[in-house]
Structure 1
Amino acid sequence: MPAPSPLLRPRDSDALRAELRRVALLGDVPVMFGGEVHGDTLVITEYHGVRTAGLRGLEVRSNSGLGGASMVAGRPLSVADYRNATGITHDYDGPVLSEGIRSVLAVPVLVDGRARAMLYGAYRSGAPFGGRVTELVIESARALSEEFRIRDEVDRRLRLRDTQSANSGEGAVDAESVREVHAELRRLAVDAPAGLQQRLRVLADKLSGPADDPATVAPLTGRELDVLAQVALGCTNAEAAQRLSLKTETVKSYLRSAATKLGTRTRYEAVSRARRLHLIP
């Protein structure tokens, strides 16, 4: 796992815990638990509805138990009668059975094809997991996968920026690199989970420099800034539209609106004015 960015990255376990609670509430699942995968070992750190301490801090090795098998297979697996299940190893019968668990669903959170975390749902009855609840857990795993992937990309770009800064000999990153990182952060925010969008934009704004007096700065919308950031890299309207998942005509409309607010006539003047106002780097 990449080193976390002190500017942006909250603990991945916090996002994991939030998803477990969401599924427990929406799906009426009595027991939810999970954790992050480190190397070939899953460490259970998050819980909802547990009655004992048996699962707390439990380390699950790859190919061991239902979760280990799901982690290696890279797909959801479930058993309706855990005690008598024959398709899995029973290395963890003690902590699982002490919770009274009978029916279990394990779903991996995949990032770049590898399990980054695991989500479990469990019933204390032998009823199999229904389609709605299974889809809820899978949906949560997909949302976490996308959020972790975006966090990783942000961290990668910030590390690249820091490396360039360290190698510059002057302790400063060249302006074009800053602009590329800024534009990419705003682009990532477009498709990011709702909880991450604002954090990405706040981080992007940190690269723009100290803000001018709000009374003297044209109030550009987030979308207008997104488009200007792409244009500042030299993107055509069509390229900006593709990167931001917009139509070309919509990009043109945002550019016209931004130019009007900035008191400029061309895209290049709009970019120049936005930079002088520290709206973009």
Structure 2
Amino acid sequence: MVEVALTADMTDADLIASAVRGLTESTRFPVAFGGWEQNGAVHVTATSGTRTHMIDGLVVRAERGLGGRAIIERRPRLALDYRTSRSITHDYDRAILGEGISTLFAIPIIVSGRTRGLLYCGSWRETSIEGMSANPAFSIAQSLAAEVRIRDEVADRVSASSSTVLPPLGGAAREELRESYAELRAIAGSIDDPVMRERLAAVERRIAALSGDGAPSERVDTTLSRREVDVLSCASLGQTNAQIAENLGLRAGTVKSYLQSAMSKLGVSTRHAAVTKARRAGILP
């Protein structure tokens, strides 16, 4: 998969700009542009390789033009000869033809079944898509979609936690927060990007801190591994080894090993005691 540079402090505009630069660097398309969806239209905010300013600020509406088709169909659309294409409307000819683009390729950024943005690749001459090597473009769109999905999940979890962790924190609210914490750890465990995992870990620590009643009531002279905490967080919800294995993508035997290791480190003999001690030590919410 082609990687685009993503950092924790990137704004949405930074993300799309990085992706657009990645398109011209990793494909043979000399022109690229893109933007995010807002109220049924994609607002182009980033360009790369353009010769004019005709595309700057372009707003592409659903069903209109090549990108509009990609928005509603939620799949890539290609116009080998944009000027003569009869399968699209030509609302944006002034911008596209004004830039001198002949072949245009539109790739939607799909998150949870919804088009959240568009990436475009263009060429000034008619060229087959095979010659342009479209796979890097698909890869960049997928990377961007994954980043948006993570941001959405983190925002949802933090918002949910913030709405329920207002004092006093009742039993039902505390359990909801613990479920959110366990699910967030499961999501983090499926991500290979170390930067994103650290960002999620920071959110996890905030959730764990919000659920506490103050300083930890017990200290432990040991450190649990990431997977041991993952398993304990699921066990704290009353899940069986089989359920934990399914949620974390592990084998049931592996889950049992992590639980035994965590219990040994915490100096207890049951999973319930391990969860209790981990909560008192501030390891779990």
TM-score over 0.5 (shorter chain): yes
Tell me by how many angstroms 1:56 deviates. Answer: 1.8
Equivalent residues in 2 for 1:202-241, closer than 5 Å: 202-209=202-209, 217-241=221-245
Counterpart in the other structure of 2:3? none
Counterpart CA distance in 2 for 1:43 and 1:233 is 43
- Helix, strand or coil: the match of 1:117? strand
Q: What amino acid is the match of 1:112?
A: S
Counterpart in the other structure of 2:155? 155
Equivalent residues in 2 for 1:170-209, closer than 5 Å: 170=167, 172=169, 174-192=173-191, 194=193, 195-209=195-209
Deviation by residue 1:181-226 (Cα, 9 ceiling, x = unmatched): 21111111123462532211220111222887xx954222211111
Q: What amino acid is the match of 2:184?
A: L
Counterpart in the other structure of 1:115? 115
Tell me by how many angstroms 1:42 deviates. Answer: 0.8
May I ask how many residue pairs the two structures share in their alignment?
A: 269
Tell me by how many angstroms 1:271 deviates. Answer: 1.4
Q: Given that residues 107 and 141 in structure 2 are in contact (C-alpha distance below 8 angstroms), is that contact kept between their aligned partners in structure 1?
A: yes
- Helix, strand or coil: the match of 1:51? coil
- Helix, strand or coil: the match of 2:208? coil
Counterpart CA distance in 1 for 2:252 and 2:229 is 16
Tell me by how many angstroms 1:10 deviates. Answer: 5.5
Q: Given that residues 100 and 124 in structure 1 are in contact (C-alpha distance below 8 angstroms), is that contact kept between their aligned partners in structure 2?
A: yes
Q: Given that residues 79 and 128 in structure 1 are in contact (C-alpha distance below 8 angstroms), is that contact kept between their aligned partners in structure 2?
A: no
Instruction: Choose which of 251, 254, 259 in structure 2 pairs with 1:250.
Output: 254
Equivalent residues in 2 for 1:132-171, closer than 5 Å: 133-165=133-165, 170=167
- Helix, strand or coil: the match of 1:130? helix
Q: Given that residues 208 and 278 in structure 1 are in contact (C-alpha distance below 8 angstroms), is that contact kept between their aligned partners in structure 2?
A: yes
Q: 1:9 to 1:275 in 2, by over 3 A?
A: farther
Q: What amino acid is the match of 2:71?
A: M
Counterpart in the other structure of 2:31? 31
- Helix, strand or coil: the match of 1:108? strand
What is the alpha-carbon root mean square deviation over aligned residues? 2.5
Q: Given that residues 71 and 108 in structure 1 are in contact (C-alpha distance below 8 angstroms), is that contact kept between their aligned partners in structure 2?
A: yes
Farther off after superposition, 173-182 or 53-62: 173-182
Tell me by how many angstroms 1:270 deviates. Answer: 1.7
Tell me by how many angstroms 1:236 deviates. Answer: 1.0
Could you list the runs of 4 or more consecutive aligned residues of structure 1 that deviate by over 4 angstroms after TM superposition?
Answer: none
Q: What amino acid is the match of 2:43?
A: V
Q: Given that residues 217 and 277 in structure 1 are in contact (C-alpha distance below 8 angstroms), is that contact kept between their aligned partners in structure 2?
A: no
Tell me by how many angstroms 1:249 deviates. Answer: 1.1
Farther off after superposition, 271-280 or 127-136: 127-136
Task: Provide TM-score, normalisation by structure 2.
Answer: 0.84
Tell me by how many angstroms 1:162 deviates. Answer: 2.7
Deviation by residue 1:34-82 (Cα, 9 ceiling, x = unmatched): 1111122110012222232222221111111110111111111111122
Counterpart in the other structure of 1:271? 275
Counterpart CA distance in 2 for 1:48 and 1:217 is 53
Task: Provide TM-score, normalisation by structure 1.
Answer: 0.85
Tell me by how many angstroms 1:132 deviates. Answer: 7.2
Q: 1:172 to 1:52 in 2, by over 3 A?
A: farther
Counterpart in the other structure of 1:5? none
Q: 1:12 to 1:216 in 2, by over 3 A?
A: same
Counterpart CA distance in 2 for 1:272 and 1:103 is 62
Q: What amino acid is the match of 2:182?
A: A
Tell me by how many angstroms 1:9 deviates. Answer: 9.0
Counterpart in the other structure of 2:51? 51
Counterpart CA distance in 1 for 2:122 and 2:168 is 52
Q: Given that residues 30 and 122 in structure 1 are in contact (C-alpha distance below 8 angstroms), is that contact kept between their aligned partners in structure 2?
A: yes
- Helix, strand or coil: the match of 1:127? coil
Q: What amino acid is the match of 2:237?
A: L
Counterpart CA distance in 2 for 1:203 and 1:244 is 19
Counterpart CA distance in 1 for 2:215 and 2:127 is 58
Instruction: Choose which of 251, 260, 265 in structure 2 pairs with 1:261.
Output: 265
